[in-house]
């Protein structure tokens, strides 16, 4: 058995070279003694908005809150429906539930794992207020089509871009389409904090102001609560660390693409399917699909290669969503993806030997 170990991710490869800058960042916060929503937060928001090419960025507590604050700010609530993919991390749907609206699920295209405008259109009712496009795995959906759908059917278009830092659609970055987008900086994301963090991005400054107020107990002005808000702000420590890491994101994205290019060129096994190639892919997750997924996962684990499954249970089959009234078989594509998906290790700093070991083990399966 091979001695090469391949973890699913390796934070040290990213953080170790940045230790002096990361240490300086947290010391600066300690010295300044301002811990929430201050100068570091504003500096990161400006840097991230500039990197993305949007007018406004509001730092919030996490990615789930980014999505629910967008929905709150747009006055989406009880009686409203929001279209969400059936195959996503549960946060996309939970954000909708949080505001009292109903997540209406849409089956993905099995070739891309993304929802399409045509499939989404089938689920529009008079109650549909918005469509939340999830840029799953770092792949970007047909955003020209979704912009047209939103315009024609008078829907709000928003993105769950939690997995899509650095991904593009026809040259435009994920997170820049529609009314607003939510990002997560959960540690494992393409840009990760050293704890929980998230952001709302938008080209609408009034919406950004409202999101900021809603995340700060509904106050535009301290102790004057115009809205029934929540507490979801970006803390200074995470903002300072994120600013350091953001400067390296483009280089890390290039590494992700380099590793993925090897996987796409060299994985050759009739039992293993890849998704359709996507030029703008941000490669947050590199999924493969195999009818013998669990056996494949075991074989890889025995070879020292650690994979994950994104996600084993689609939203409509989660116990928490039993009350939506969906049944097994309602979203066949989402169910087939959940039963066969395996996410390969892919992270900045992965060595040629590690990449080759993954490819060899897959090809021999």
Ligand X SMILES: *Cc1c(COP(=O)(O)O)cnc(C)c1O
* By the rule CB under 6 A, 91 interacts with ligand X: yes
* By the rule CB under 6 A, 361 interacts with ligand X: no
* By the rule CB under 6 A, 89 interacts with ligand X: yes
Question: Looking at 62-70, 105-113, 239-247, 248-256, which segment touches ligand X (CB under 6 A)?
Answer: 62-70
* By the rule CB under 6 A, 134 interacts with ligand X: yes
Residues, the chain: 365
Q: Which residue is nearest to ligand X (CB)?
A: 63
* By the rule CB under 6 A, 29 interacts with ligand X: no
User: Which residue's CB is nearer to ligand X, number 62 or number 343?
Assistant: 62
Quote the CA–CA distance of 288 and 309 in Å, as a whole number.
10
Burial profile 4-22: b = 16 or more Cβ within 10 angstroms, e = fewer = bebeebbeebbbeeeeebb
- Going by their DSSP bridges, the two strands 198-202 and 180-184 should be labelled as antiparallel
The CB-of-309 to ligand X minimum distance in angstroms stands at: 13
Identified binder of ligand X from the candidate list 14, 25, 37, 62, rule CB under 6 A: 62
Question: Looking at 72-80, 89-97, 146-154, 237-245, which segment touches ligand X (CB under 6 A)?
Answer: 89-97
User: Which residue's CB is nearer to ligand X, number 132 or number 259?
Assistant: 132
Q: DSSP characters for 269-302?
A: -TTEE-PPP-TT---SSEEEEETTHHHHHHHHHH
Question: Looking at 35-43, 70-78, 85-93, 232-240, which segment touches ligand X (CB under 6 A)?
Answer: 85-93
Peptide bond preceding 26: is omega within 30 degrees of 0, i.e. cis?
Answer: no
Interhelix angle 236-246/19-32, nearest 10 degrees? 150
Q: Return the CA Rg of the chain.
A: 21
The CB-of-24 to ligand X minimum distance in angstroms stands at: 25
User: Which residue's CB is nearer to ligand X, number 40 or number 196?
Assistant: 196
The CB-of-158 to ligand X minimum distance in angstroms stands at: 12
Identified binder of ligand X from the candidate list 6, 49, 58, 64, rule CB under 6 A: 64
Question: Looking at 86-94, 217-225, 254-262, 299-307, which segment touches ligand X (CB under 6 A)?
Answer: 86-94
Q: How many CA atoms lie within 13 A of 135 on its CB side?
A: 36
User: Which residue's CB is nearer to ligand X, number 49 or number 162?
Assistant: 162
Residue with tokens 């960042």: 25
* By the rule CB under 6 A, 198 interacts with ligand X: yes
Identified binder of ligand X from the candidate list 87, 92, 179, 232, rule CB under 6 A: 92
Peptide bond preceding 311: is omega within 30 degrees of 0, i.e. cis?
Answer: yes
Q: Residue 22: helix, strand or coil by DSSP? A: helix
* By the rule CB under 6 A, 232 interacts with ligand X: no
Cα torsion 168, 214, 69, 151: sign: negative
Quote the CA–CA distance of 290 and 337 in Å, as a whole number.
9
Q: Is 65 left (phi over 0), alpha (psi -120 to 50) or beta?
A: alpha
Identified binder of ligand X from the candidate list 38, 59, 63, 103, rule CB under 6 A: 63
Identified binder of ligand X from the candidate list 40, 71, 88, 361, rule CB under 6 A: 88
Quote the CA–CA distance of 59 and 336 in Å, as a whole number.
36
Interhelix angle 63-73/91-98, nearest 10 degrees? 40
User: Which residue's CB is nearer to ligand X, number 310 or number 357?
Assistant: 310
User: Which residue's CB is nearer to ligand X, number 184 or number 361?
Assistant: 184
Binding mask 153-172 vs ligand X (x if CB under 6 A, - otherwise)? Answer: -------x-xx---------
Q: How many residues of this chain interact with ligand X, rule: CB under 6 A?
A: 15
Report the 10 Å Cβ neighbour count for 268.
9
Q: Which helix (H) or strand (E) holds 51?
A: helix 39-52
The CB-of-310 to ligand X minimum distance in angstroms stands at: 8
User: Which residue's CB is nearer to ligand X, number 107 or number 196?
Assistant: 196
Interacting residue ranges for ligand X, rule: CB under 6 A? 62-64, 88-89, 91-92, 134, 160, 162-163, 184, 186, 196, 198
């Amino acid at each position: 058995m091979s001695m090469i170990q391949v973890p699913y991710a390796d934070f040290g490869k990213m953080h170790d070279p940045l230790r002096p800058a990361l240490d300086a960042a947290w010391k600066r916060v300690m010295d300044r003694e301002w811990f929430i929503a201050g100068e570091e937060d504003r500096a990161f928001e400006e840097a991230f908005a500039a990197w993305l090419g949007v007018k406004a960025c509001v730092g919030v507590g996490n990615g789930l809150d980014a999505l629910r604050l967008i929905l709150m700010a747009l006055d989406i609530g009880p009686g409203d429906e929001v279209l969400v993919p059936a195959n996503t991390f549960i946060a996309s749907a939970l954000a909708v539930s949080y505001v009292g609206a109903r997540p209406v699920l849409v089956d993905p295209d099995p070739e891309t794992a993304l929802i399409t405008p045509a499939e989404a259109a089938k689920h529009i009712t008079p109650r549909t207020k918005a469509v939340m496009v999830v840029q799953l795995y770092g792949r970007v959906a047909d955003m020209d089509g979704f912009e047209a759908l939103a315009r024609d059917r008078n829907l709000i278009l928003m993105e769950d871009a939690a997995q899509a830092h650095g991904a593009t659609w026809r040259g435009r970055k994920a997170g820049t389409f529609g009314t607003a987008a939510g990002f997560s900086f959960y540690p494992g994301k393409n840009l990760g904090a050293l704890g929980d963090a998230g952001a709302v991005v938008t080209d609408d400054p009034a919406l950004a102001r409202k999101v900021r107020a809603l995340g700060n107990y509904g106050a535009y002005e301290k102790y004057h609560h115009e809205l029934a808000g929540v507490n979801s702000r970006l803390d200074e420590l995470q903002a300072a660390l994120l600013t350091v890491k953001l400067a390296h994101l483009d280089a890390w994205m290039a590494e992700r693409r380099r590793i993925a290019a090897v996987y796409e060129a060299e994985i050759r096994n009739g039992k293993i399917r890849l998704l359709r190639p996507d030029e703008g892919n941000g490669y947050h997750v590199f999924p493969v699909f195999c009818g013998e997924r669990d056996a494949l996962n075991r074989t890889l684990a025995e070879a020292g290669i650690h994979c994950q499954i994104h996600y084993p249970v689609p939203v409509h089959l989660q116990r928490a969503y039993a009350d939506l009234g969906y049944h097994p078989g309602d979203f066949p594509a989402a169910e087939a993806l959940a039963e066969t998906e395996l996410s390969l290790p892919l992270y900045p700093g992965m060595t040629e030997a590690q990449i080759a070991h993954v490819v060899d083990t897959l090809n021999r399966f």
